[in-house]
Structure 1
Amino acid sequence: MNQVLKTKIFSFLKKLISIAILIFAFTFSEIYWSMGSLSERVSSGNPDSSFFDDAYLLSLFTTFILTIIFLFLTLIKNIYLKITIELIFLISVWFFWNYSIFVDRESSWSTYLFKEEIIHTLALSFIPISVLSIVVVFALNFISKKL
């Protein structure tokens, strides 16, 4: 019985670490791909903060939150519902971070309306979020099945 428990714990930890690394790497990549054009701009919230620092901290925070959420979502048996929920969470979080970066590094220094902020963020984020979210969701489901 003890060996079975060790195997299950090891399998769970392997899945947890794999999901966390996947989310961190792709979140960091998505932020750089979509908002990289703003990397030379000064942050209005913290002028000493570099773009790398912001991307790293946002990726780290996203990793903790989404790893927990995606682990709970592995309990859903309906694959279409699970994929839809994963995509909604991932796209929402990534778009929110991109919007935050855009406001912090671009629109706070100018006179953007809320609608213009959303449109600009969407224009910068649409392709990176679309491509990377699909890759992440398929990789998550592969990890869930194999580990």
Structure 2
Amino acid sequence: MKQISQNKIIQVLKKTLFIALVIFASTFIEIYWSMGKFSERMSSGCLDCSFIEDVYVVSLLTSAFLTVVFLLLSLIKKIYLKRTIELTLLSSIWVFWNYGIFVDRESSWSTYTFKEEFIYTFSLSILPVLVLSIAAIFSINYISRIGKT
């Protein structure tokens, strides 16, 4: 009996770690892919912060938050609803971070309107967000499904 509960705890910890690693890595790659052209630009919020530091912190925050949310979403039995929520949430958060980086490193030094900022961010983000969010959600759900068998 004790062995069964220890195995279950280990499985949950493995699943949690895997989700966190996938989200961290995909967030890091997505931001670098979509906003990498601003990596040499100075941050208006922190003059001493490098682009890589910003991406690292954002990736940590995102992985911590979304790991908890995705574990809670695993309680949803309707697969398509669950995946739609995960995909929408992940994509929205990434576009939000990309917008923040664009504003911090580009538009705050210039005269962009909100509409121009959003359109420019969206145009830079659409391909990386779509590709990596689908890959991340597929990976998380595929490994989670294998772990149950």
Fold-level similarity (TM above 0.5): yes
CA distance, structure 2, for counterparts of residue 17 and residue 83 of structure 1: 19
- Give the letter aligned to residue 9 of structure 2: I
**Which secondary structure state, in structure 1, belongs to the residue aligned with residue 46 of structure 2?**
coil
Does the 8 Å CA contact 1:74/1:144 hold for their aligned counterparts?
no
- Write out per-residue CA displacement over residues 47-92 of structure 1, whole angstroms, 9 at most, x where no aligned residue: 1100000000000000100000001111111111011000111001
TM superposition shift of 1:140: 1.1
Identity of aligned residues (%): 59
Provide the TM-score with structure 1 as the length reference.
Answer: 0.99
TM superposition shift of 1:143: 1.9
Q: How does 1:7-18 map to 2 (within 5 A)?
A: 7-18=7-18
- 1:52 maps to 52
- 1:81 maps to 81
TM superposition shift of 1:98: 0.2
- 2:110 maps to 110
Does the 8 Å CA contact 1:99/1:117 hold for their aligned counterparts?
yes
CA distance, structure 1, for counterparts of residue 65 and residue 111 of structure 2: 33
CA distance, structure 2, for counterparts of residue 22 and residue 113 of structure 1: 34
Structure 2: where are the runs of 5+ without partners?
A: none
- 2:61 maps to 61
CA distance, structure 1, for counterparts of residue 65 and residue 105 of structure 2: 24
TM superposition shift of 1:105: 0.1
Provide the TM-score with structure 2 as the length reference.
Answer: 0.97
Q: Say how many residue pairs are matched.
A: 147
- Give the letter aligned to residue 45 of structure 1: G
CA distance, structure 2, for counterparts of residue 131 and residue 35 of structure 1: 15
CA distance, structure 2, for counterparts of residue 20 and residue 139 of structure 1: 12
Does the 8 Å CA contact 1:94/1:129 hold for their aligned counterparts?
yes
TM superposition shift of 1:41: 0.4
Q: How does 1:1-147 map to 2 (within 5 A)?
A: 1-147=1-147
**Which secondary structure state, in structure 2, belongs to the residue aligned with residue 60 of structure 1?**
helix
**Which secondary structure state, in structure 2, belongs to the residue aligned with residue 49 of structure 1?**
coil
CA distance, structure 1, for counterparts of residue 15 and residue 89 of structure 2: 19
**C-alpha RMSD over aligned residues:** 0.5
CA distance, structure 1, for counterparts of residue 123 and residue 78 of structure 2: 33
Q: Any runs of at least 4 consecutive aligned residues in structure 1 with deviations exceeding 3 A, and if so which? A: none
